[in-house]
A and B are shown apart, each in its own frame.
Chain A
Amino acid sequence: MAATDPENAATLVSPGSEVLGPGHTYGSVTDKISSIVLTRGTGKKYKAGLALAIVLLLMLNYAVTVLMAVGVGIFGINVPVGWGFAITNFVWWIGIGHAGTLISAFLLLMRQKWRTSINRFAEAMTLFAVACAGAFPVLHMGRPWLAYWLFPYPDTMGVWPQFRSPLVWDVFAVSTYATVSLLFWYVGLIPDLATLRDRATKKFKQVIYGIFALGWRGSARHWKRYEMAGLLLAGLATPLVVSVHTVVSFDFTAAIIPGWHSTIFPPYFVAGAIYSGFAMVIALAVPLRKYYGLEDFLTIRHLDNMGKIMLATGLIVAYSYIMETFMAFYSGNPYDRFMIMNRMTGPYAPVYWVLIAVNLVIPQVLWISKIRRNPLWLWILSFSVQTGMWLERFIIIVTSLHRDFIPSSWGMFYPTRWDWMVFIGTIGLFFTLFYLFIRFLPMISIFEMRELVHKTAEESTH
């Protein structure tokens, strides 16, 4: 009886929908994942990819050096558009990070076992995305070396942060998020680091992995404490999924500018963050499973589920666009109406309509299950969504600022090459970190996969 878990039976009835390929044992799972790090070495494609990422990273270094020397004047920002690419990129990157936390913490609490094989690299993605995001507000400050003024410390100048400003809340929200994500990721790695320590053949590797494994021996007491710590961290991290992007949305809504001051922003931003985050997970997962032959671990079922989550969160985003437009007309407020009309027909109208196409219209193909189950289509679609979510933040920031209440203060924002270099440079930073991660750490949680092998075996013998 109960050959299938009733909780997942609805999707398990169709073939090709398992969360783990057939015929795996504890040993084969461990071999497969640890060999990527320990014995497989690096291929040509890996080296080429890493090299490209490092080139982009060097470009970022160059652009940031110039930024430090010259100032934010090298960007396209000016009055009235004081927030340009930097804040767009900040919101975009931090949004991408959210899927990792959602997968690792929220789905753990929900007892969704399909998360097992994607949580590790999704968490890594979160960390690297937060690193990229965190750089932008600092770089955007004008004098980044004074960023620590944002913290409330007793200084001799009598400077104290304005705690009514959501920008200050951001400092705390993002740094908390980064800390908890790092802890959660690292704690999750400990048993696997011990596995690598035990399997490594070279002394140097044994010592390095051994140091980070913190003396893990896998005793029953270790596991008991470990499970408890994992649950507690998951409980801490879950509210952060919501709170961080809610605070980011307050950065806009606390102002009274039409296009920013809208009550739907908090849930809308959270949904958008998860939307773009899952797009990034798919963008990373599809090539990884192909290149490293991980089709048994990252199954079609995973892609299908992620596609569904993207569809659902994308629809919440669509709902929000519709509410904003409707309320602009319903409210009878001339400035709100002008803001929407300006987005649709003003100088940035082409950007707006591309946004609608790639973020709302095209993703509707996710209703079709064949597309959700086709890795290539899903991969292409993930880029559509990521472009869309970047454009969305650009539209929110730039079109709301560039034409405000008085026509005499209107202006345009055009990105400079420095804007582009910093933006693309952070993509380089992200991928450099990610390439190093898949080379030196197990990208799929080995011990959780072993658990999954155990559970799958248990179910089939029932």
Chain B
Amino acid sequence: MNDIDALRPKLDRLQRGFLLIGVLGLAACAFGAYSNWTLFLRSYLIGYIFWLEIALGCFAILMLHHMVGGKWGFIIRRSLEAGSRTFPLLALLFIPLLLGHSDKGLYPAVTGSSFKAFYLSPDFFTGRVVFYFAAWMTLAFFLNRWSSQQDTGTTDGLLHRFQALCGPGILIYGFTITFAAIDWVMALEPNFFSTIFGMIFIIMPALAAMAFVIIVTMLLAKRKPVSDVATPLKFNDLGNLLLTFVMLWAYLSFSQFLIIWAGNLQDEIPWYTVRATGGWTWVAMFIILFHFAVPFILLLNRPVKRNMKALAAVGGALIVMGWIDLYWFIVPSFYPLGPRFHWTDFVTPIGIGGFWLAFFVRALKSKPLLPLHDPRFEGVVQHG
């Protein structure tokens, strides 16, 4: 029942299509970089973090699933694994940012002998980037390898190994993404600091990735083998997880806002005054409405969660909102008066996304679309 061959030609075509989009997009990016390096870097940062978030979220949810078990992981596990296998590509795509780190139009210089200057110095910055990717790739490597072993029927001690790795793995994920968020996003405004910032960036990828795998599952569910197990109840569970992440995102974001607003201190408040005035007011309102209020109300409804197309539509909207949210996080650091679009803002996510999706499809088709021989999923297929 786990036959992927019927789908293979379709997936091959998809992969080639994405690759073509990626090549064209990155070619346009290269032109953008040639014509204006700083503006290109600013766009590239958003596009890059947007796709990295989806990969990281897949990786985090995969580890969470191994830790707590749960039937909800069965249907999305292969998508999560495929997402976590894109880290080598993402490491490669980080190179422009590494080259651009010293560009003053991206990250303002922090000089002097302060801890911040030391922390954000180019060498330390590069060292941390290497460490983050090494940690993510190592963990993802073992998770995928053991999962393939499980498919062949070897189950001896694998569950225990998964759990033994994922406990510390989630811890490592939490800390690496926290510091990555500080390095890559918070450092755009060196005077700003917020202790909850890392936590917001722990949740954002999970939200984006959950929305992404819901869409992938909806597409796969049109054919066998996924169509056999894609019951409304499964999507209900996935919808509940999506709702949880939406609420967590709102909770953490609101906490940060309320505390900084109440404190009204000179180091912190400019971050919000810029993002809530001028042209940014509307962006902020839009985010509150469509990254929280509307999806929150929609996801409270059972019919929406049980209809996979409706759920995937909400997921798609949340992915777009994730990009807008990221834009609102990053761009006001460069343009405090309001949004100013540059054509590379739109080309970079497409270029990176084309490559990333091609890699994702390649990883997805290399394994059966549903995990085999996992004792935790015994009875899931039969019982639906």
Given contacts A261-B265, A323-B178, A327-B195, contact A9 B69 (CB under 8 A): yes
Q: Report which residue of B115, B174, B383 has the largest number of chain A beta carbons within 10 angstroms of its beta carbon.
A: B115
Nearest Cβ on chain A to B18's Cβ, whole angstroms: 35
Query: What 0/1 readout, one digit per residue, does chain A (321-358) give for beta carbons within 8 Å of chain B?
Result: 01110010111110000000000000000000000000
In the complex, chain A residues whose CB is within 8 Å of the CB of B37: none
A 305-330 contacts with B by CB, 8 A: 315, 319-320, 322-324, 327, 329-330
B 191-213 contacts with A by CB, 8 A: 193-199
In the complex, chain B residues whose CB is within 8 Å of the CB of A250: 258-259, 262
Interface size of B by CB at 8 A reads 42
Q: In which size bucket is the chain A interface? A: 35 or more
A264 adjacent to chain B (CB < 8 Å):
yes
In the complex, chain A residues whose CB is within 8 Å of the CB of B378: 1-2, 4, 6, 9
**How distant is the Cα of A240 from the Cα of B376 in the complex, in angstroms?**
33
Nearest Cβ on chain B to A249's Cβ, whole angstroms: 8
Q: Chain A binding site: helix, strand, loop or mixed by DSSP? A: helix
A13 adjacent to chain B (CB < 8 Å):
yes
B9 adjacent to chain A (CB < 8 Å):
no
A 229-278 contacts with B by CB, 8 A: 242, 246, 250, 253-256, 261-267
Q: Chain B binding site: helix, strand, loop or mixed by DSSP? A: helix
The residue in chain A whose Cβ has the minimal distance to the Cβ of B174 is A319
Nearest Cβ on chain B to A178's Cβ, whole angstroms: 23
Are B259 and A254 in contact, CB atoms less than 8 angstroms apart? yes
B 253-282 contacts with A by CB, 8 A: 255-256, 258-260, 262-265, 267
Nearest Cβ on chain A to B180's Cβ, whole angstroms: 14
**How distant is the Cα of A116 from the Cα of B377 in the complex, in angstroms?**
24
Nearest Cβ on chain B to A10's Cβ, whole angstroms: 4
Are A9 and B119 in contact, CB atoms less than 8 angstroms apart? no
Nearest Cβ on chain B to A56's Cβ, whole angstroms: 37
Are B259 and A13 in contact, CB atoms less than 8 angstroms apart? no
In the complex, chain A residues whose CB is within 8 Å of the CB of B255: 246, 263, 265-267
The residue in chain B whose Cβ has the minimal distance to the Cβ of A265 is B259
Given contacts A10-B376, A262-B195, contact A253 B174 (CB under 8 A): no
**How distant is the Cα of A263 from the Cα of B195 in the complex, in angstroms?**
5
In the complex, chain B residues whose CB is within 8 Å of the CB of A261: 259, 263, 265
Are B196 and A330 in contact, CB atoms less than 8 angstroms apart? no
**How distant is the Cα of A262 from the Cα of B267 in the complex, in angstroms?**
13
The answer, among A256, A320, A332, for a CB contact under 8 Å with B195, is A320
Residues of B at under 8 Å CB distance from A?
Answer: 69-71, 114-116, 119, 159, 163, 167, 171, 174-175, 178, 182, 193-199, 251-252, 255-256, 258-260, 262-265, 267, 375-380, 382-383
* Sample of 6 more A-B contacts, CB < 8 Å, known A11-B69, A263-B259: A6-B71, A8-B69, A250-B262, A262-B259, A319-B175, A331-B116
